[in-house]
Amino acid sequence: MKVVTVVAPVNIAVIKYWGKRDEELILPINDSISGTLSTDHMCAKTTIQASPLFQENRFWLNGKPQDFDNPRLNNCLKEVKRRAKPSCPILNWKLSICSENNFPTAAGLASSAAGYACLVSALAQLYEIDGDISSIARRGSGSACRSVYGGWVQWVKGESPTGEDSLAVQLAPASHWPEMRVIILVVSNETKKYSSTSGMKTSVETSQLLPYRAKEIVPKQVERMKRAIADKDFEAFARITMEDSNSFHAMCLDTFPPCVYMNDISHAIVDVVHTYNQLKSSNKVSYTFDAGPNACLYLLESEVEEFLSVINYVFPPRSGSIQDEYIKGSKVKQLPIQE
């Protein structure tokens, strides 16, 4: 028997991926950029056992048995096996895959990104493959390709119709900007109404804003964001992050029927951030929302204490609330960026 266990982090996009040009290969219509969080708090953990004695392949997610015939899982497995050496002794052994997330799954907190990055890293170790694995993780979930690297990561959309140039590249390690922090405000841990996969498909089919965002807005914002990260210019970084989140959710609302991910509490958080920044006469905190109501706030370490006191004042935690349960003691998560 051979056993591998891997832990992989969540990433939070500051320039969002939304829309595929190829559904099967998971090729995006635009580049995206994210920060990869430390694995201390939010991560996926996958253990894979391979044995010649197993009769069938099995897969559990958060303790529940899953169908192994999942096409995305099989695409990743097929690609890893294709890259394994023909002499690899375990190529025909059956697998037992056990994955878990230590945070709400499918609640718009990048669970599939961490999950597939973890699965593919574990498979790569198991079958001893070398080289870039982000293009394999991409086949599991697009955003997963960015979780393969730490620090600041760009998913380059690529031009090839077969996808070999659609992969993640590290723009800078976390040590480049060690003062950066992320606070996650868990507004709801319920599963989102429409998955990212189906939401973005409907957006590609119906949103009139989507082609403009992909061709005109995002390429310019990607260049500005790369400069902001390289220069550690937080003011610019924060502005671009918030602009992109707003542009992304505008496109979601422009989808027909609309994908409504943010709720009243999300919008209240946006107001608090803007009021805070206005009082400080500068962008000290930035928000970004994925396909769910939960807020991801990027800010520098020097701002954390003061901003948290504002959040605790405006949103006093209720006993038994998600924050109490989920974050065990500290009401919100304050996370560094992962190397």
Chain residues that interact with ligand DP6, rule: CB under 6 A: 13, 16-18, 26, 32, 110, 112-113, 141-143, 196-197, 290-291
> Could you identify the residue written with the tokens 């189906």?
198
- Is residue 219 within 8 Å of 30, Cβ to Cβ? yes
Question: Based on CB atoms, which residue is closest to ligand DP6, 8 or 50?
Answer: 8
Residue 13: CB minimum distance to ligand DP6, A = 3
Residue with the closest Cβ to ligand DP6? 142
Question: Based on CB atoms, which residue is closest to ligand DP6, 50 or 186?
Answer: 186
Residue 18: CB minimum distance to ligand DP6, A = 6
148, with CB counted inside 10 A (0-12, 13-18, 19+), is: buried
Question: Based on CB atoms, which residue is closest to ligand DP6, 50 or 270?
Answer: 270
Question: Based on CB atoms, which residue is closest to ligand DP6, 26 or 242?
Answer: 26
Residue 201: CB minimum distance to ligand DP6, A = 8
Cα–Cα dist 157/136, whole Å: 14
Q: Please give the helix or strand (H or E) that residue 9 lies within, else none.
A: strand 2-9
Residue 142: CB minimum distance to ligand DP6, A = 3
Residue 177: CB minimum distance to ligand DP6, A = 19
Q: Please give the helix or strand (H or E) that residue 118 lies within, else none.
A: helix 111-126
**Residue 284 to residues 92, 133, 276, 312, Cα–Cα distance (Å):** 54, 35, 8, 17
Question: Based on CB atoms, which residue is closest to ligand DP6, 49 or 196?
Answer: 196
End-to-end CA distance of the chain: 32
